[in-house]
């Protein structure tokens, strides 16, 4: 096991846990079998542990017990194999948590309407664990949350049983680092941060997770581990906001934003390339920084960069819709009554995840302006559970992106840059394309291409020239 920061808790592993890890005799539990929990449960089974997955959806549990996966990044064949081998089982019965030597909690931590953390799922899971808690158990929270949750919320609830963390049971925080659709970094090979509420807790957590992950990154406390996760995604959110602000500045200056960003990205030091887009999406970056903002407000500290970056990113769907309106106006067409095709509604390319997707806000704003809105996404056949009632059930324009569909559209808006879309066909058959991702560059055709920062049909890709010395 690689300890990438070298932190050593200096605590011996309790003998029962050493034997359970060495012989793979521990029974492991995972509460929540979604994008985070199911990959983790499968990795536990792959490592030889009997694994129980706890779900609230009977359909999900029944499907898993039939050997079917509902998560794109988890192969159904793996699920079927581990179920058949008796290493993986899904259940709705939280009473079976008592069977587990270790329990990983992977439940949602959304924000409420005023962007305060909603810990209701974590509290429900913790109360279920408390009801089954016995000496020697290891509890690991993986759900993203604000610094202090494990110590200040979970620990007191669990210690109401009369058991003490670090002596009678072990409590850690280890943030999930799932990147859906990433072909390179997956559950096992992504370095795993972990912190315990005591050194003994960390020792037990490290011992177990060292058998599941290629590299562990132990930190001094659960609070440190919680802050690692929100810092990682705050870093991304702020830098994406900067790229989005540069895009808007380029629009006012009449400068091609992709030309600027690609050229800046050739610098081999002191610069990390982030690209602009239609807004933030996904289960982490739009939400996680607000956990830190909320916590710091309770300490009379204002996280000004987070608040400003959030404001800039939240403006991008409106900025995109204004670009569509301006482009249609140049064609002497109002938004009301115009046929607008949105290409891509998932929050990122080549996945089927709609969570917090900026496409949903763009669709809603276009509808409000009276556009005849339709969408095409090869990964998302329908829109559901999106929070926008008017969009729920909005059908795809067509299963296939055809020349007839493109010709019958007044404006195409590229929101998600799926690699399976034929952008050459779009360039040849569409009249007008508002390209928020820069994917239309290099596709000549009859379409008028409008980007985040003006017209970009003639934009060359950035090149590095080696001049003779």
- Note the pLDDT of residue 381: 83
> CB-based contacts of 113: which residues, under 8 Å, 6+ apart?
none
Assign 469 a pLDDT band (cuts: 50, 70, 90).
Answer: very low
In angstroms, what CA-CA distances link 132 with 33, 97, 146? 19, 6, 25
Asked if residue 469 belongs to a domain, the reply is no
Q: Do 292 and 190 lie in a common domain?
A: no
Burial of 333 (0-12, 13-18, 19+ CB in 10 A): middle
Q: Do 120 and 206 lie in a common domain?
A: yes
Q: Do 211 and 283 lie in a common domain?
A: no
Q: Do 300 and 173 lie in a common domain?
A: no
Instruction: Report how far residue 376's alpha carbon sits from residue 263's, in angstroms, rounded to the nearest whole number.
Output: 32
Assign 467 a pLDDT band (cuts: 50, 70, 90).
Answer: very low
Strand order of the sheet with strand 339-343?
A: 372-376, 339-343, 411-414, 432-435, 448-451, 454-455
Domain stop point among 166, 187, 220: 220
Which has the minimum average pLDDT: 264-278, 296-310, 337-351, 440-454? 440-454
DSSP secondary structure letter of residue 454: E
List, in sequence order, the alpha helices (H) in 155-221: 155-159, 199-209
Instruction: Report how far residue 335's alpha carbon sits from residue 372's, in angstroms, rounded to the nearest whole number.
Output: 9
Instruction: Report how far residue 462's alpha carbon sits from residue 266's, in angstroms, rounded to the nearest whole number.
Output: 9
Mean pLDDT value across residues 14-35? 92
In angstroms, what CA-CA distances link 87 with 19, 24, 90, 96, 255? 19, 11, 10, 15, 57
The enclosing domain of 133 has a CATH number of 3.40.50.720
Domain stop point among 220, 255, 286: 220
Burial of 294 (0-12, 13-18, 19+ CB in 10 A): middle
Give percent above pLDDT 70 in the chain.
91
Mean pLDDT value across residues 284-289? 82
Asked if residue 377 belongs to a domain, the reply is yes
The helix (H) or strand (E) run that includes residue 125 is: helix 120-132
Assign 221 a pLDDT band (cuts: 50, 70, 90).
Answer: very high
DSSP secondary structure letter of residue 96: G
Predicted confidence (pLDDT) per residue in 39-63, tens digit: 999 999 999 999 999 999 999 999 9
Classify strands 192-196 and 170-173 as parallel, antiparallel or unpaired: antiparallel
- Note the pLDDT of residue 395: 67
Asked if residue 225 belongs to a domain, the reply is no
Contact 20, 26 (CB under 8 A): yes
Q: Do 74 and 207 lie in a common domain?
A: yes
Q: Strand, helix or coil at 278?
A: coil
Count how many domains the chain has. 2
Q: Do 201 and 341 lie in a common domain?
A: no
The helix (H) or strand (E) run that includes residue 301 is: none
Contact 226, 422 (CB under 8 A): no
DSSP secondary structure letter of residue 162: S
In angstroms, what CA-CA distances link 382 with 109, 276, 351? 24, 26, 13
The helix (H) or strand (E) run that includes residue 261 is: helix 257-264
Place of tokens 């408390």: 130
Strand partners, 341: 374, 412
In angstroms, what CA-CA distances link 302 with 88, 146, 294, 297, 308? 45, 15, 9, 6, 11
Q: Do 40 and 129 lie in a common domain?
A: yes
Asked if residue 466 belongs to a domain, the reply is no
Assign 457 a pLDDT band (cuts: 50, 70, 90).
Answer: very low
Active-site annotation, residues: 284
- Note the pLDDT of residue 7: 54
Assign 214 a pLDDT band (cuts: 50, 70, 90).
Answer: very high
Contact 454, 439 (CB under 8 A): no
Strand partners, 171: 139
Mean pLDDT value across residues 278-302? 87
Q: Do 61 and 169 lie in a common domain?
A: yes
Average pLDDT, the chain: 90
Domain that holds residue 132: 2-220
Predicted confidence (pLDDT) per residue in 383-441, tens digit: 865 555 556 567 677 778 999 999 999 999 999 999 999 999 999 999 999 999 999 98
Asked if residue 450 belongs to a domain, the reply is yes
Contact 111, 117 (CB under 8 A): yes
Q: Do 206 and 267 lie in a common domain?
A: no
Asked if residue 110 belongs to a domain, the reply is yes
Predicted confidence (pLDDT) per residue in 160-197, tens digit: 999 999 999 999 999 999 888 888 999 999 999 999 99
- Note the pLDDT of residue 455: 53
Q: Do 264 and 200 lie in a common domain?
A: no
Domain stop point among 155, 186, 220: 220
Predicted confidence (pLDDT) per residue in 87-98, tens digit: 999 999 999 999
Instruction: Report how far residue 168's alpha carbon sits from residue 380's, in angstroms, rounded to the nearest whole number.
Output: 47
Asked if residue 230 belongs to a domain, the reply is no
Mean pLDDT value across residues 118-132? 97
Instruction: Report how far residue 200's alpha carbon sits from residue 169's, in angstroms, rounded to the nearest whole number.
Output: 9
Asked if residue 199 belongs to a domain, the reply is yes
Classify strands 432-435 and 411-414 as parallel, antiparallel or unpaired: parallel
Q: Do 305 and 211 lie in a common domain?
A: no
In angstroms, what CA-CA distances link 409 with 244, 436, 439? 27, 18, 19
Q: Do 332 and 440 lie in a common domain?
A: yes
Mean pLDDT value across residues 210-224? 96
């Amino acid at each position: 096991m690689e300890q990438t920061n070298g932190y050593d808790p200096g605590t011996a592993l309790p003998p029962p846990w050493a034997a359970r890890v060495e012989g793979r005799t521990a029974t492991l539990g995972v509460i929540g079998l979604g994008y985070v929990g199911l990959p983790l449960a499968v990795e536990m089974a792959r490592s030889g542990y009997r694994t129980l997955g706890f779900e609230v959806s009977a359909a999900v549990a029944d499907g898993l017990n039939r050997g079917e996966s509902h998560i794109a990044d988890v192969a159904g064949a793996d699920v079927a194999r581990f179920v058949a081998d008796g290493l993986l089982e899904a259940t709705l019965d939280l009473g079976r948590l008592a069977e587990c030597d270790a329990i990983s909690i992977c439940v949602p931590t959304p924000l409420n309407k005023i962007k305060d953390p909603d810990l209701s799922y974590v509290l429900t899971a913790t109360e279920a664990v408390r009801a089954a808690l016995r000496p020697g158990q290891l509890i690991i929270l993986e759900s993203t949350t604000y610094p202090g949750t494990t110590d200040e919320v979970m620990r007191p609830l669990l210690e109401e049983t009369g058991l003490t963390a670090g002596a009678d049971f072990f409590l850690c925080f280890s943030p999930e680092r799932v990147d859906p659709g990433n072909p390179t970094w997956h559950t096992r090979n992504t370095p795993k941060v972990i912190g315990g509420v005591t050194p003994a807790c960390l020792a037990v957590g490290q011992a177990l997770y060292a058998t599941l992950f290629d590299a562990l990154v132990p930190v001094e406390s659960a609070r440190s581990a919680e802050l690692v996760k929100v810092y990682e995604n705050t870093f991304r959110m702020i830098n994406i906001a900067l790229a989005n602000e540069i895009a808007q500045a380029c629009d006012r200056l009449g400068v091609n934003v992709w030309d600027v960003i690609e050229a800046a990205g050739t610098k081999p030091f002191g610069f990390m390339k982030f690209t602009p887009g239609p807004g933030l999406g996904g289960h982490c970056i739009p939400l996680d920084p607000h956990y830190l903002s909320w916590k710091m407000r309770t300490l009379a500290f204002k996280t000004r960069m987070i608040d400003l970056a959030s404001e800039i990113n939240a403006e991008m769907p409106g900025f995109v819709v204004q670009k569509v309106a301006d482009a249609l106006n140049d064609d002497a067409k109002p938004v009301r009554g115009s046929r607008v095709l949105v290409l891509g509604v998932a929050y990122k390319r080549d996945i089927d995840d709609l969570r917090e997707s900026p496409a949903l806000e763009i669709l809603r704003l276009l509808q409000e302006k009276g556009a005849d809105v339709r969408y095409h996404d090869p990964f998302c056949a329908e829109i559901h559970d999106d929070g926008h009632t008017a969009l729920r059930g909005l059908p795809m324009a067509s299963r296939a992106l055809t020349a007839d569909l493109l010709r019958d559209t007044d404006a195409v808006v590229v929101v998600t840059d799926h690699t399976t879309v034929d952008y050459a066909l779009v360039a040849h058959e569409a009249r007008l394309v508002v390209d928020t991702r820069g994917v239309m560059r290099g596709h000549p055709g009859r379409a008028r291409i409008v980007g985040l920062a003006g017209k970009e049909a003639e934009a060359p890709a950035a090149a590095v020239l080696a001049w003779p010395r």
